[in-house]
Amino acid sequence: MTKPYIIWNVNGKDYRLRMTTFNTMQIEKQLGMGMTDALNHLMDSRVIVGILWDAMQKYNHGMNLREVCDLYDDYLAGGGNVEKISNILMQLLAQIGIGDTEDTEDDAKNVESPAAENDMTI
């Protein structure tokens, strides 16, 4: 059975990410576009943080947008960048039916911040 979430490691701490339809509808309203349109803006910080906020709510309930922005800043400070986070975002979008869901568990198992890449192979 596949895990219902993706692990995102930032500065040695694991965060479980899972997009839900309800939170996706909220973030779509805030972004002013649907998730299929958001694919065309996947490099925009408001879309990245919006998707991460959505995905944080299931297992990290109550994490507000400011906290997610700070967490993303920590990820970037640890060597992350938009290209590296895009793999995570695509796996998250697959959770709500956008894109391919095959191999999501295998691809997501060891997703970490770049600072931790020396410890594990992605």
CB-based contact 29:69 (threshold 8 Å) = no
- Residue spans per domain, the chain: 6-116
Prediction pTM value? 0.79
Helix locations, 1-122, DSSP H: 21-31, 35-38, 45-57, 65-77, 82-95, 104-108
Query: What tens digit of pLDDT does each residue of 18-77 get?
Result: 999 999 999 999 999 999 999 999 999 999 999 999 999 999 988 999 999 999 999 999
- Identify which of 119, 93, 5, 121 has the alpha carbon closest to the alpha carbon of residue 57: 5
Mean of the pLDDT values across residues 90-96? Answer: 94
User: What b/e readout covers 26-41, taking b as 16+ CB neighbours within 10 angstroms?
Assistant: ebbeebebebeebeee
CB-based contact 92:35 (threshold 8 Å) = no
pLDDT at 62: 85
CB atoms within 10 A of CB 65: 15
